[in-house]
């Protein structure tokens, strides 16, 4: 990964200013504005460039991720050798899925097990590649099932592990899940706060704000 990372998403680099390794990005907005589409495309474009990725699937399981990407003709299965997945919701259906290859299963309410598996994946990717991309979709699911203060500690630990692995993190969050004081604390854990409202995407970094219109096409997100 170069010192300045290009997302490969049309027009997005002009808003983000090309993040550097170690950057932690929070993506927020109301439901149905494209947060998961952007997070998924961020993952897919990284895999296309052969950048290793850790995807934490909290809102949708790994099979849903595969199905959602196929809707855009993004076939992540063909790039799966660079993809590590931690799947949180699949076990809620009552089954006991077993870890297989780079896919590990955990539980939304078992944050200790989640962080152990995040540590295993980030160490593995760092040792193999010396860098990585990580996407966490979505932190609001953790808040729906766990005490807010615990979730803040989990996010801090997650960010530390990604940064230590020379990675870039993108964490999605749906506004309105937690109390107002907790939601005010969350952006402070990240270097960049990206917001989507259905028509405009903005990024705030070091007090400076950049924004552009966006739309979701059958090829993915198009910014500008």
pLDDT given for residue 176 in this prediction? 83
- CB 169, CB 162: distance < 8 Å: yes
Q: Does the pTM exceed 0.85?
A: yes
CA atoms of 58 and 206, how far apart (whole Å): 29
CA atoms of 45 and 110, how far apart (whole Å): 30
- CB 66, CB 74: distance < 8 Å: no
Residues of the chain where predicted confidence (pLDDT) is lower than 50: none
DSSP string of 183-215? Answer: HHHGGGGSSEEEEE-SSEEEEEETTEEEEEEEE
CATH superfamily placement of domain 10-18+34-131+149-162+175-223: P-loop containing nucleotide triphosphate hydrolases (3.40.50.300)
Which tokens in the block code for residue 13? 């680099």
pLDDT given for residue 18 in this prediction? 77
Count CB neighbours of 114 within 10 A.
22
- Strands, sheet with 192-196, edge to edge from the N-terminal-most edge strand: 103-105, 83-87, 53-57, 132-137, 167-174, 24-29, 192-196, 200-205, 208-217, 220-223
Identify the burial level of 214 via C-beta atoms within 10 angstroms of its C-beta, where 0-12 means exposed, 13-18 middle and 19 or more buried. buried
pLDDT given for residue 49 in this prediction? 92
Helices 62-70 and 35-48 sit at what angle, rounded to 10 degrees? 80
CA atoms of 68 and 74, how far apart (whole Å): 9
Which tokens in the block code for residue 209? 């704000």
């Amino acid at each position: 990964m170069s010192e300045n990372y290009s997302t490969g998403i049309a027009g997005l680099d002009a808003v983000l200013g090309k993040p550097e390794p170690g950057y932690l990005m929070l993506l927020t907005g109301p439901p149905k504005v494209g947060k998961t589409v952007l997070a998924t495309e961020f993952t897919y474009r990284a895999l296309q460039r052969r950048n290793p990725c850790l995807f934490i699937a909290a809102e949708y399981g790994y099979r849903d991720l595969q199905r959602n990407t196929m809707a855009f003709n993004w076939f992540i299965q063909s790039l799966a050798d660079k993809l590590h997945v931690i799947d949180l919701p699949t076990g809620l259906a009552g089954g006991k899925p077993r870890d297989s290859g780079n896919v590990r299963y955990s539980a939304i309410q078992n944050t200790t097990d989640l962080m152990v598996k995040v540590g295993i994946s980030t160490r593995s990717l760092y040792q193999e590649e010396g860098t990585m991309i990580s996407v966490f979709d979505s932190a609001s699911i953790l808040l729906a099932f766990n005490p807010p203060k615990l979730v803040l500690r989990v996010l801090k630990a997650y960010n530390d592990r990604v940064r230590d692995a020379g990675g870039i993190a993108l964490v999605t969050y749906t506004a309105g899940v937690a109390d107002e004081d907790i939601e005010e604390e969350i952006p402070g854990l990240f270097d960049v706060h990206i917001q989507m409202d259905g028509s405009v995407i903005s990024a705030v970094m070091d007090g400076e704000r950049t924004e552009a219109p966006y739309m979701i096409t059958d090829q993915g997100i198009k910014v500008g």
